[in-house]
Structure 1
Amino acid sequence: MTDARTETDVVDVLTADHREVQELLQQIPAIDDAERRRDLADTAISELVRHSVAEEMYVYPAMREHLPNGEEAVQHDIEEHQGLERTMRDLEGVDATEPRFMELVGELDTKLRHHVQSEETDQFPQLRARVPRDTLVDLRDKVEAAKKIAPTRPHPNAPRSEVFHKLVGPGVGLVDRLRDKLTGRATG
């Protein structure tokens, strides 16, 4: 039996997700091949969407319950997720050879850096200080499972609730993955 104190927790997983997407976005400007830029952008979008949905399903309820300003923090994050999703949606619609593509990659990177800084310097330390370790480990498992069935494309106009994501998200995710496969879109 593994000791929960030595296991990774949900904060570790979410922080690793942040690093992965940031690294993908930072690689794009150095790549000359438009198809490769598109693939990296699509992978970053897919990973970021899955991360956001899993956060909304499982981490936000924990924030509401355990953080003194939980509801306010969640509303702030939801607004940031919506902004990120609008930028991702715009990025999906632009050819990688167009100058606007690189502008949107830069915009997404800037918005993501702001969001990550807020989460990692304020919310994540509070979660670790206020949520029992076993719960954080359990949330890790739930977030990892949710990312496997979550949508891979931004849906900025979809409702932002854990109930919606749990009931409708898997179906949307299935449709997104089918679209990804049919179009050859890179998703990680």
Structure 2
Amino acid sequence: MPAAPTKTDVVDVLIKQHSQIRELFDEVAASDGDARRDAFGRLVRLLAVHETAEEEIVHPAARRSLPGGEGIIDDRLTEEREAKEQLAALEAMGTDDPRFDAELDVLRIAVLTHARAEERYEFFRIRDEFGETQLAALAAAVKAAEATAPTHPHPGTESATKNLLAGPLVAMVDRIRDIIRKAH
């Protein structure tokens, strides 16, 4: 007898990514050399696409639907902008810089605090507000947004409108830059 299909909703998708982000922070901190650069590159990419999808899909839905949604989302967007600025500075610094470990710790605390706030004040409340079909549709929309999202942080694009206007061009430039870097 085949197993029953598992249902994945947007909250499941995002919390799983938060777990992957925590694991990548651990991997970056525990490695060095090429392994550290690779792990950090994967962390940068995951954070960039994750935040873009939240900004395009999840936050607008929460803003419209959750009681107090305006304030909740404004707080998350402020945190996301600060984290993007920190991530961009770390990416420019490089993993071999002597300041990298200290700055990575600052970013890690900010990102993990932000993730806990999202889960507590936004995600679980979304699960309460939306039905199963809506949650599954949001998960599909998040996956689609991630497939075309920029792969590097771009502070200042923390709204759905800014992401949708600038995102496709920025994503294309990011992905070409990634290909060129990988070739070297």
Pairwise same-fold verdict (TM > 0.5): yes
* Mapped partners of 2:96, 2:44: distance in 1: 18
Q: Deviations over 1:108-164 (max 9, x none)?
A: 111111011111122111111112221111010000010010001111133x32122
Q: How many residue pairs get matched?
A: 179
The answer to whether the aligner puts 1:38 opposite 2:17 as a matched pair is no
- Alignment match, 1:75: 74
Q: CA deviation at 1:77?
A: 0.6
- Alignment match, 1:176: 174
CA RMSD of aligned residues (A): 1.6
Q: Runs ≥4 in structure 1, deviation > 6 angstroms? A: none
Q: CA deviation at 1:99?
A: 2.0
Counterpart code for 2:166: V
Q: CA deviation at 1:42?
A: 1.4
- Alignment match, 1:7: 7
Structure 1 vs Structure 2: percent identity of aligned residues? 35
* Mapped partners of 2:94, 2:50: distance in 1: 25
Q: Answer whether contact 1:35 1:96 (CA < 8 A) is retained.
A: no
Q: Deviations over 1:2-24 (max 9, x none)?
A: xxx95101111111111111101
- Alignment match, 1:105: 104
Q: Answer whether contact 2:29 2:101 (CA < 8 A) is retained.
A: yes
Counterpart secondary structure, 2:61: helix
* Mapped partners of 1:95, 1:116: distance in 2: 24
Q: Answer whether contact 1:149 1:173 (CA < 8 A) is retained.
A: yes
Of residues 70-79 and 160-169 in structure 1, the stretch that sits farther from structure 2 once superposed is: 160-169
Q: Deviations over 1:29-56 (max 9, x none)?
A: 221x322112111110111110101001
* Mapped partners of 2:103, 2:34: distance in 1: 16
Of residues 160-169 and 59-68 in structure 1, the stretch that sits farther from structure 2 once superposed is: 160-169
* Mapping for residues 121-132 of structure 1, pairs under 5 Å: 121-132=120-131
- Alignment match, 2:162: 164
Instruction: Mark the runs of 5 or more structure 1 residues left unpaired by the alignment.
Output: none
